[in-house]
């Protein structure tokens, strides 16, 4: 090839490379995430299963870590792809099969597959309507302090602002057990064995200090058998909420009513009430919160107990608890003494919580107290008091995005978790023996934990 032809070829290749590289060069790559180490000394947590309440409970130490990596491919202010991944490990490793990968890399020499998908979705603004769309696996939280649902789910969520109104509409498919067999015309099953959540939410700003909200959540559940989550067929939930800034106080009251069908023979009629408040006092703030979830006193006939989507996807972080309710700071070991079932197997529950938080230079601190009991008893012998928790935490900011802290929590158990066999509520049945499964443990010791953590956010 002549020199002239060589130069023409090089020029052509260079032009092609430049042309194809334009989109990549224009793309903004954003990386964010976190790393958290947590060590526990506890007589109730082991780092493997949920809370274990028992007489003469033994105390042990375990440590775990979590890293989250958030990568956003941003084409422009109106279009981006959001991906969120997670890596969890217990120091020493989780024995046995870990999510199909053998171990969680905390074992000797690590080298295991532990990368988990948390979120992958497209976030864009429609150029025609101005509506924001999120399409894919994405996080979603209810407007009721997550007492109903906080989870990552596959779906489509649209939000449109009509100042002073903001309206949202969403569809999520949280379960799909459809197979080629069920899709056959003569299979005897519904063609689609699915669970769907429909969301309609509205927020109206009366002023900069008063915002009112209303919502509708609908659960359509066609799943069956052992794959059935949740346990009911159809649920409608309507509710109202508000964000109120009243001088030094920020108050968020809420209420919701549920109706629908447990199954073909039982109806649902349940409700929730709650409020969260923060008041500036001195160098910090006083926190207060409360909730009530209706319960069913007999477990038969129509259902009066408040329904969630699943126990593992409900929270109440404003409580600032570590044991009565799982902590909002928790990572892998995200459990409570109730096994995260805020409904106590349909009995409902109520809680009152208060605390104080503040900071002095690089030091931050908080102290809290909380009380919980069941809303209903199902036998004359059943006890209702779950317990009272006290906890405190102090920390120090080594850098703006790196902090260390230590916390301690103790629960004075009520008889619903530590009483006699008859006093502790039945929450299930042993699949092998048929024996009833009850809350807590006979004469269970009061649970406690001491937590140390290192937290880095970037």
Task: Give tens-digit pLDDT for 294-313.
Answer: 999 987 788 999 999 999 99
Residue 190: its pLDDT value, please? 61
Hey, what's the torsion of the CAs at 295, 297, 299, 301, to 10 degrees?
Answer: -100
Q: Residues with Cβ < 8 Å from 264, sequence gap 6 or more?
A: 233
Contact 218, 197 (CB under 8 A): yes
Residue 8: its pLDDT value, please? 41
Number of other CB atoms surrounding residue 380 within 10 Å: 6
Q: Which of 262, 293, 307 is nearest to 372 (CA)?
A: 293
- 3-class DSSP state for residue 59? coil
With 0-12 / 13-18 / 19 or more C-beta atoms within 10 angstroms meaning exposed / middle / buried, residue 323 is buried
Residue 298: its pLDDT value, please? 84
Phi-psi category of residue 188: left, alpha or beta, with phi > 0 → left and psi -120 to 50 → alpha: left
- Residue with token string 């709650």: 274
Q: Which of 205, 195, 202 is nearest to 238 (CA)?
A: 202
Distance separating alpha carbons of residues 441 and 381, to the nearest angstrom = 16
pLDDT tens, position by position, 207-266: 999 999 999 999 999 887 665 789 899 999 999 999 999 999 999 999 999 999 999 899
Distance separating alpha carbons of residues 290 and 318, to the nearest angstrom = 9
Residue 15: its pLDDT value, please? 43
Q: Token pair of 145, please? A: 């302090």
Q: Which of 305, 368, 370 is nearest to 341 (CA)?
A: 305
Q: Token pair of 267, please? A: 């109806």
Residue 186: its pLDDT value, please? 61
Mean pLDDT by 10 residues, the chain (458 residues): 46 44 70 98 88 91 97 97 96 72 76 90 98 99 98 98 97 88 64 90 97 98 77 97 98 99 94 99 97 91 94 96 97 92 96 98 98 96 97 98 99 96 86 83 96 98
Q: Token pair of 392, please? A: 């405190």
Residue 3: its pLDDT value, please? 46
Residue 183: its pLDDT value, please? 66
Q: Which of 406, 375, 367, 234 is nearest to 296 (CA)?
A: 375
Contact 427, 437 (CB under 8 A): yes
Distance separating alpha carbons of residues 256 and 241, to the nearest angstrom = 9
> Cα–Cα–Cα angle for 433, 437, 439, nearest 5°?
165
Q: Which of 266, 278, 271, 182 is nearest to 222 (CA)?
A: 182
């Amino acid at each position: 090839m002549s020199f002239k032809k060589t130069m023409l070829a090089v020029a052509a290749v260079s032009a092609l490379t430049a042309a194809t590289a334009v989109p990549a060069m224009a793309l903004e790559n954003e990386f964010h995430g976190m790393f958290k180490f947590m060590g526990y000394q506890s007589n109730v947590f082991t780092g493997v299963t949920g809370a274990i309440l028992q007489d003469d409970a033994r105390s042990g130490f375990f440590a775990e870590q979590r890293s989250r990596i958030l990568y956003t491919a941003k084409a422009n202010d109106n279009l981006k792809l959001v991906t969120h991944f997670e890596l969890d490990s217990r120091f020493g490793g989780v024995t046995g099969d870990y999510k199909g990968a053998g171990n969680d890399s905390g074992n000797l020499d690590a080298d295991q597959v532990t990368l988990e998908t948390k979120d992958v979705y497209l976030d864009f603004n429609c150029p025609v309507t101005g509506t924001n769309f999120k399409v894919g696996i994405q996080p979603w939280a209810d407007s009721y302090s997550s007492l109903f649902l906080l989870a990552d789910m596959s779906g489509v969520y649209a939000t449109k602002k009509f100042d002073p109104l903001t309206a949202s509409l969403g569809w999520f498919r949280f379960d799909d057990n459809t197979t080629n067999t069920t899709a056959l015309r003569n299979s005897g099953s519904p063609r689609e064995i699915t669970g769907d959540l429909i969301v309609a939410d509205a927020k109206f700003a009366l002023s900069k200090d008063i915002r009112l909200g209303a919502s509708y959540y609908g659960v359509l559940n066609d799943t069956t058998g052992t794959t059935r989550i949740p346990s009911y067929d159809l649920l409608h939930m309507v509710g109202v909420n508000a964000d109120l800034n009243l001088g030094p106080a920020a108050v968020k009251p809420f209420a919701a009513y549920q109706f629908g069908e447990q199954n073909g023979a039982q109806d649902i009629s349940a409700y929730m009430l709650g409020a969260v408040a923060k008041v500036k006092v001195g160098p910090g703030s006083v926190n207060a919160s409360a909730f009530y979830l209706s319960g069913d006193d007999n477990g038969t006939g129509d259902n009066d107990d408040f329904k969630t989507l699943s126990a593992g996807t409900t929270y109440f972080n404003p409580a600032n608890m570590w044991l009565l309710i799982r902590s909002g700071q928790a990572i892998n070991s995200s459990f409570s003494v109730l096994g995260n079932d805020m409904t106590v197997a349909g009995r409902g529950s109520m809680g009152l919580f208060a605390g104080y938080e503040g900071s002095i230079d690089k030091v931050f601190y908080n102290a809290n107290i909380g009380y919980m009991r069941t809303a209903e008893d199902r036998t004359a012998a059943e006890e209702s008091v779950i317990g009272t928790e006290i906890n405190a935490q102090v920390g120090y900011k080594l850098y703006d995005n790196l902090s260390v802290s230590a916390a301690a929590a103790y629960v004075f158990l009520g008889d619903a978790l530590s009483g006699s066999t008859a006093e502790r509520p039945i929450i299930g049945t042993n699949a092998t023996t048929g024996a009833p499964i009850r809350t807590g443990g006979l004469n269970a010791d009061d649970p406690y934990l001491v937590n140390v953590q290192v937290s880095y956010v970037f």
